[in-house]
Amino acid sequence: MLTDEERRRGAADLTRAETERVAIPQLSRTFPNIEIADAYVIQRLWAEGRIAKGARQIGHKIGLTSRAMQMASKMTEPDYGHLLDDMLYNDGAQIRADRFLAPRLEVELAFVMGEDLKGSGKRIYDVMRATEFIVPALEIIDYRTEVPRAITDTIADNAASGGMVVGGRTIRPMDVDIRWVGATLSKNGIIEESGVSAAIMGHPAAGVAWLVNKLADQDIGLERGQIVLAGSFTRPVSVAAGDVIHADYGPLGAIGVSFV
């Protein structure tokens, strides 16, 4: 375990990397004794620092929702991070690529909460009942530390979340069978990735239920109006200035953005 001072140093280093757009050495190298619990504290301290400067928390993201990614990271469960208001982009946005160090995109679904959801023992149907809308989304993932990264590096670095884009058709939870939402992700007119949302733990709401149960350990939960990125059902696609992105969700519409 790290000391409180080491945790604060870790959060400050990540803030500096984000501000200066220069990757820092992995925290697992700087602090060899770092544990997962330390990484989540560093992530929280980073988020609190951003909020103190004017950002507002609008929700959470969930990562490592596929078994393959968990095995690659030597994890047995997903991870999570914070979503802040200045990380949110709308369909059609022109996004500055130099805001990020090495941006990549993942295809996801976003849950918009219609009521608070808190406490342990929550299941998929609790999430579906508490969700007001589900909407197509893209997550912009970014690394603010050098690679290769241990899982503690990823978690401390806000679970690699750099931003998100929402668009397409807004649906209510029971409008369609959300296990079978399919999507393709195109870059500059070429389909780079495709997938189906059942790849997210068998059901996209399963990750949200996991998150609620995890947050219960801290006596917090999801709040009405918050957004939850449920996890990717495609591999990440690298993007850079000049790239034009189109994510097609079929009956749920599409998302189009460009990087400048």
User: What stretch of H or E contains 130?
Assistant: helix 124-130
Return the pLDDT at 258: 98
**How many separate helices (H) and strands (E) can be counted in the chain?**
7, 13
User: What stretch of H or E contains 111?
Assistant: strand 104-113
Overall pTM > 0.75: yes
Reported residue count of the chain is: 260
Give the pLDDT confidence of 148-178 residue by residue, as tens digits.
Answer: 999 999 999 999 999 999 999 999 999 999 9
Confidence of residue 228 (pLDDT cuts 50, 70, 90): very high
Percent of the chain with pLDDT over 70: 97
Q: How much is the mean pLDDT over the chain?
A: 95
Return the pLDDT at 76: 73
Return the pLDDT at 82: 98
Percent of the chain with pLDDT over 90: 95
Q: How far apart are CA 15 and CA 9, in angstroms?
A: 10
Return the pLDDT at 40: 97
For the segment 84-98, the average pLDDT, to the nearest whole number, is 97
Return the pLDDT at 24: 97
Confidence of residue 94 (pLDDT cuts 50, 70, 90): very high
Q: How far apart are CA 131 and CA 134, in angstroms?
A: 8
Q: How far apart are CA 4 and CA 228, in angstroms?
A: 29
Place of tokens 């992700």: 185
| SS (HEC) of 178-215 | HHHCEEEEEECCEEEEEEEHHHCCCCHHHHHHHHHHHH
Return the pLDDT at 86: 96
| Residue 41 confidence (pLDDT) above 60 | yes
| Residue 67 confidence (pLDDT) above 70 | no
Question: What tokens were used for 20?
Answer: 């200066």
Q: What are the residues whose beta carbons fall under 8 Å from the beta carbon of 80, sequence distance 6 or more? A: 60, 61, 62, 63, 159, 211, 214
